[in-house]
Chains A and B, each alone.
Chain A
Amino acid sequence: MKDSMKPLSRLETSSIPCTLNGQEISLNVPPAKRLLHILRDDLEMTGTKRSCDIGRCGACMVMVDGVPVNSCLTMAYQCSGKSITTIEGVSAGGMDPIQRAFLEEGGFQCGYCTPGMIISVKALLDHNPDPTPPEIEEALSGNICRCTGYGGIKRAVQKAIEWRREAYESESVHD
């Protein structure tokens, strides 16, 4: 059997190399285990939330190589060699301006959807710092909020865009 055809092991764990919030790690888990369960149960990183389990709510959103994916749909082997960012990683260097904007603009009530929302907004603004309203709507179309009616979330996104722009402009002035 060729090397490429060797299965990753079944009941025993396999070692899957990846980067988690900037740190190189090896996931010693069954290869089809879902990233959501690895994060919450094995690594005790509970910032990523669990709700529908089938990709419909966005509570479990993480970034893989800079783009948002639902960790309840992502299997461990799909993370091999990839860079994963969770909500814990977003705030590793202190509160992210996106998080502050959600706080200041009332972008949450119960807060259950918020980590997933923040991840989706971060993925959007990292790629497109000045999105149009339809682009924002599309980027957040996989994140469901049962509380806010989305008004506060939209304001928070606009505020985050403003703050990031101001920060960029003041950096450019100082350069």
Chain B
Amino acid sequence: MAANAQGVAEAPFVWHPATAAEAWQLKQTLGTEGVYTAGGTLLRTQWEAGLAAMPNHLINVGEIEELHGIHIDCESGTGTLGAMITLSDLRTSPLVHASFPLLTEAARSIAAPSIRNLATIGGNVLSLVGDSLPALLIYDPVLHWHDGSNGLQESLSEWLSTAAVHAAWRERLLIAIELTQPALDSNTKRFVAYHKVGRRDAFTPSVVTAALSVQLDSDNRLSDVRLALGGGQTIPHRLELVEQFLTGKIANKKTITEVYALVVEHYEPKGDAFVPVSYRKKAAANLIASELWKAVR
């Protein structure tokens, strides 16, 4: 029988709860012996790399109805993505593309189609470093969890800011992600961009993943600036200081030169043996500066 890197036989129990409450109850009973499993693509990478042992119990969350479905209300500009939505669903949904275009781009940049056919948005978010996160952060995302009570709602930004240090959320089941499109003021246009820069063209961990959304009036004055950065092992976050700096400014050479310096100064990525912090800062600053140029061109 095949074994993973830890030498554990591939023979865990696999549970198939039909409701969120059943899944949560199972997790309570099994504790660290039981692991929620969606597409299993990230878990498999962790098991094979020896970063985690294959658990004794997998809790397959794929059969829970509530976790499926893309619901978008184009009128109000709001939407909900079930945690079990695959990245392929995101990549190909015309509704997602119309309302949350940065997500279509993000899905295109993650892994390859065959992996996206298994991998879910829930698993990507809960990896803490998924490339969907910078795109999601632009749309005021709210996570809907099942925690054994009436359900818990929490802003994605807030959760990300503490998720690496607090582990309590690992007991919860992610149900869905709620999004809201930025509103567009009259006489303005919106410019959005998503970029993932890797060491190779495709299929490689990101050096920088950036998502940007700005509103411009006819003088190129910026408002409702939203900017999120991540990549590699950096937990993605909005760059509020840079957003505040840009708000109300005219996007011109001076502003863009200043914003480059500000990103280099304030963005704090995690480096690794391949790409040091200084390179990631410059790559991020270059991306933001070049996208702002495109916005005013």
Residues of A within 8 A of B (CB): 2, 4-5, 7-11, 30-34, 37, 41, 53-56, 58, 61, 64, 67-70, 72-75, 77-78, 120, 138-139, 141-143
Contacts and interface: CB of A to CB of B under 8 A. Distances in A.
Contacts of A9: 13
B117 interface: yes
A64 B26 CA distance: 29
A4 B17 contact: yes
Given A4-B17, A70-B118, 4 more contacts: A10-B12, A61-B114, A77-B14, A141-B112
B18 A4 contact: yes
7 contacts: A7-B13, A10-B11, A54-B45, A58-B112, A69-B118, A78-B40, A78-B118
Contact of A31 (B14, B114, B117): B14
8 A-B pairs closest in CB distance = A142-B112, A4-B18, A7-B13, A31-B14, A68-B114, A30-B11, A141-B112, A141-B202
B63 interface: yes
B12 A32 contact: yes
Contacts of B54: 32
Contacts of B48: 53-54
A31 B22 CA distance: 20
A4 B63 contact: yes
Contact of A33 (B10, B39, B41, B118): B10
Interface residues of B, number: 38
Given A73-B40, A73-B41, A73-B118, A7 B15 contact: yes
B7 to A, nearest CB: 14
Contacts, number: 108
B60 A77 contact: yes
Interface string B17-34: 110001000100000000
Contacts of B12: 10, 32
B2 interface: yes
Given A10-B11, A55-B45, A78-B118, A142 B40 contact: no
Contacts of A32: 10-12, 14, 54, 58
B45 A5 contact: no
A73 to B, nearest CB: 5
B14 to A, nearest CB: 4
Pick from A33, A41, A64, A141 the residue with the most CB of B within 10 Å.
A141
Contacts of A58: 112, 114
Contacts of A53: 48
Nearest to B114: A68
B115 A70 contact: yes
B113 A68 contact: yes
B104 interface: no
A56 to B, nearest CB: 7
A67 B88 contact: yes
Contacts of A75: 14, 40
Task: Please indicate which of the listed interface residues B18, B58, B115, B202 has the most CB atoms of chain A within 10 Å of its own CB.
Answer: B115
B279 interface: no
